[in-house]
Amino acid sequence: MYLLLICEEINVILNKYLKYNIENMKKTIIPKKMKRMYFSEDFKIEKWQDIKKELEKLLNCPINSRNELMSFWKKVSELYKIKEDTCAWLYIRMTQYSNNLEHKKAFNFFIKNIEARSQPYIFELNKKFYSSPFRNKIGKKYGHLNKIISNQIELYREENIPLILKEQELAVKFREIVGNMTVFFKGEEKTIQQMLVYYENKDAKIREEAWRLVFNRYIKEKNKLNKLFDDLKNIRVQIAKNAGFKNYRDYMHQAKGRFSYSPSDLTNLHKVVKKVIIPFIEELDNERKNKLNLEILKPWDFKVNFEGEIPKAFETVEEMLEKSTKILFNVDNDFGEEFKKMQDNGFIDAENRKNKAPGGYCYPLLETGSSFIFMHSVGLINDVETIIHEAGHAMHNMMSKEETIIEYIFKPSEVAELASMSMELITLDYWREFYPDDILKIVKSNELKEKIKFIPWGIVVDAFQHWIYLNPKRTTKERDDYFGKLLDQYKIGGNWTGLEREKAIRWMMQLHIFQIPFYYIEYVLAQLGAIAIYRNYKKNPQKTTKQYKRFLKIAYTKPVDEVYRTAGIKFDFTEKYITELVNFIKAELKK
Ligand SMILES: [Zn+2]
């Protein structure tokens, strides 16, 4: 799924380039691949005809038994893998050398001429699988696959296609409005991203000034963004209606394949978080208030670190990689080995240099059975978090590399982020590679607090969308008011008195609400899961590592709740369970 997200981002930026021969790119592609089962080793997807021919063959091949159905699907999966890897390398090269127009052209050529044109065929292949009389005879092992494909086919409505296209167009508009926003700060033009660093400033006046500038910039676009959101909402309501759903929330829950939990499980989780986590957040806020020596906390007071300076974690990229390798070896030998191999293969580009795209990612290299990590490291704690987080994804890809079914390889975020977020937590003690003991204590405490503090925000973003799509006729004013109420209930931003205008537009800063509706709660579920894995790890590291590896290995071959159980944890939204997890974090913080 995250592959698609990455590709979608870039596709929009590069719409203008059309024709380019990928042939020119070959010299930069040197991965060692695993053996293919169905396609010859020299088969490549360089132009539309290459893949079209194969897609057509697959569409026309006869299926006369259960076994033939499964080998048909494994062949489809192998073709997807080849396509995904071709796309992966084009994307990687483009982000590594963002000033090189040829890379951009090659990537865009692929998206326009191969990826987009494959989509209707892929749907037809899914349909072919779905309508096969052998589908219900494929056995338990593939029951989950059956469920995933059936869900897609059963939700499909011809009349929703133009609506979905329109929705995507409007999502691009959102990016156009907010993507180019700048403000003038101390005489210099700065992007919103660049302003965020001032939220951490020790001087409250600087924090406030930066914060107000950013919010005022959004307020200027308020009417435009409200109108845009209403248009998006109306389209979404119609999409749900066409698919036979009472509301868009329930439709999206189904469309996202959330088979293991219901929307009402989530509303229950909203309540539990309010009851169990918010009192703890209030304690943390009080501590912050006292240590910052403030009467009240304003929204710009939450990013500044009051525990003292965290020194640089490392000087060079080599040092960071060497220390991260040791950390991973501490968890498990296979992890250390894979991470070393990635470095030997040139699969980690962590250097901060000019002409490299911003951001960070871990891109699976399906045919190689490995991953590519991309980031900008400058020595900050953030970089340590990023490399360990992405290494968690990379270990997931490595452990599940033998999986042959594409639907099982692509993991939903509840599953994918459980791997990476858990890796951050279980390695915490080993971060002593980067920090002396006294600093590590502060780092650990900050990390644990950050993880807990994210949860209420995740809930607010989710609860807000539940309300919107269950009450689609409410006015923009009622919408703003409801969001404000959520901020107060979940203790986000402290005291907003005198900042009512700002409060009303806070939700507009969360791009998910506009662009990827209902995609957010997954992070809350994975974070809770990661805390549970960390708790197990503290009790029994050997056993927990074993379970963790087993969980990585099964990828998405099972529904989310079973995947969590394989990791040795519950998939549970009850007050009792969340209380246990919060108490564990409290006890860790006291240590
Ligand atoms: Zn991640």
DSSP string, 478-503: HHHHHHHHHHHHTT-SS--TT-HHHH
Distance CA 570, CA 273 (A): 17
Mark residue 353 as left, alpha or beta (left: phi above 0; alpha: psi -120 to 50; beta: remaining): beta
Centre of ligand 1 from the C-alpha of residue 317, in Å: 21
* Tokens found for residue 433: 């590679």
Centre of ligand 1 from the C-alpha of residue 506, in Å: 24
Cβ burial of 141 (10 Å; 0-12, 13-18, 19+) is exposed
Can you give the pTM of this predicted structure?
0.92
Centre of ligand 1 from the C-alpha of residue 533, in Å: 16
| Three-state secondary structure call for residue 189 | strand
Centre of ligand 1 from the C-alpha of residue 452, in Å: 17
Centre of ligand 1 from the C-alpha of residue 411, in Å: 11
Mention every residue, 6+ apart, whose C-beta is less than 8 A from residue 513. 229, 461, 464, 465, 507
Centre of ligand 1 from the C-alpha of residue 511, in Å: 17
Centre of ligand 1 from the C-alpha of residue 275, in Å: 28
Q: Quote the pLDDT of residue 266.
A: 98
| Three-state secondary structure call for residue 544 | helix
Centre of ligand 1 from the C-alpha of residue 374, in Å: 12
User: What is the sign, positive or negative, of the torsion defined by CA atoms of 244, 248, 250, 254?
Assistant: positive
Centre of ligand 1 from the C-alpha of residue 227, in Å: 32
Q: Helices then strands (H, E): number in the chain?
A: 26, 5
Beta strands in 173-321 (DSSP E): 182-185, 188-191
Q: Quote the pLDDT of residue 30.
A: 54
Centre of ligand 1 from the C-alpha of residue 173, in Å: 26
Cross-strand pairs, 362: 373
Centre of ligand 1 from the C-alpha of residue 579, in Å: 25
Q: Judging by DSSP bridges, how do beta strands 370-377 and 361-365 pair with one another?
A: antiparallel
Centre of ligand 1 from the C-alpha of residue 416, in Å: 7
Nearest Cα to Cα of residue 369 among 34, 51, 19? 34
* Tokens found for residue 210: 């930066």
Residue 431 DSSP one-character state: G
Q: Quote the pLDDT of residue 415.
A: 97
Q: Quote the pLDDT of residue 193.
A: 84
Q: Quote the pLDDT of residue 591.
A: 86
Distance CA 292, CA 303 (A): 12
HSE toward the beta carbon, residue 317, CA cutoff 13 A: 12
Centre of ligand 1 from the C-alpha of residue 389, in Å: 6
* Tokens found for residue 115: 């990826």
Distance CA 554, CA 546 (A): 13
* Tokens found for residue 293: 């020596």
Q: Quote the pLDDT of residue 306.
A: 86
| Three-state secondary structure call for residue 295 | coil
Centre of ligand 1 from the C-alpha of residue 395, in Å: 12
Distance CA 321, CA 344 (A): 11
pLDDT of 22-73, one tens digit each? 333 333 345 578 999 999 999 999 999 999 999 999 999 999 999 999 999 9
Centre of ligand 1 from the C-alpha of residue 421, in Å: 7
Distance CA 523, CA 340 (A): 28
Distance CA 476, CA 528 (A): 33
Distance CA 422, CA 526 (A): 8
Distance CA 371, CA 362 (A): 6
Distance CA 541, CA 330 (A): 11
Distance CA 177, CA 221 (A): 8
Centre of ligand 1 from the C-alpha of residue 413, in Å: 8
Centre of ligand 1 from the C-alpha of residue 294, in Å: 35
Residues with pLDDT less than 50, the chain: 1-29
Centre of ligand 1 from the C-alpha of residue 359, in Å: 12
Centre of ligand 1 from the C-alpha of residue 270, in Å: 23
Distance CA 134, CA 264 (A): 35
Is 420:375 a contact under the CB 8 Å cutoff? no
| Residues at Cβ < 5 Å from ligand 1 ion | 420
* Tokens found for residue 336: 């250390």
Centre of ligand 1 from the C-alpha of residue 397, in Å: 12
Distance CA 37, CA 133 (A): 25
Nearest Cα to Cα of residue 75 among 92, 54, 93, 95? 54
Centre of ligand 1 from the C-alpha of residue 536, in Å: 21
Centre of ligand 1 from the C-alpha of residue 432, in Å: 23
Centre of ligand 1 from the C-alpha of residue 390, in Å: 6
Q: Quote the pLDDT of residue 21.
A: 34
pLDDT of 286-331, one tens digit each? 999 999 999 999 999 999 988 878 899 999 999 999 999 999 999 9
Place of tokens 């662009």: 515
Centre of ligand 1 from the C-alpha of residue 314, in Å: 23
Distance CA 24, CA 21 (A): 6
Nearest Cα to Cα of residue 545 among 333, 401, 331, 389? 331
**Measured distance between the N- and C-terminal CA atoms of the chain, rounded to whole angstroms:** 39
Is 320:378 a contact under the CB 8 Å cutoff? no
Centre of ligand 1 from the C-alpha of residue 322, in Å: 22
φ/ψ of residue 373, rounded to 5: -105, 135
Q: Quote the pLDDT of residue 354.
A: 85
Q: Quote the pLDDT of residue 353.
A: 87
Centre of ligand 1 from the C-alpha of residue 393, in Å: 7
Centre of ligand 1 from the C-alpha of residue 392, in Å: 8
Q: Quote the pLDDT of residue 184.
A: 95
Centre of ligand 1 from the C-alpha of residue 386, in Å: 9
* Tokens found for residue 56: 């057509």
Centre of ligand 1 from the C-alpha of residue 325, in Å: 19
Centre of ligand 1 from the C-alpha of residue 420, in Å: 6
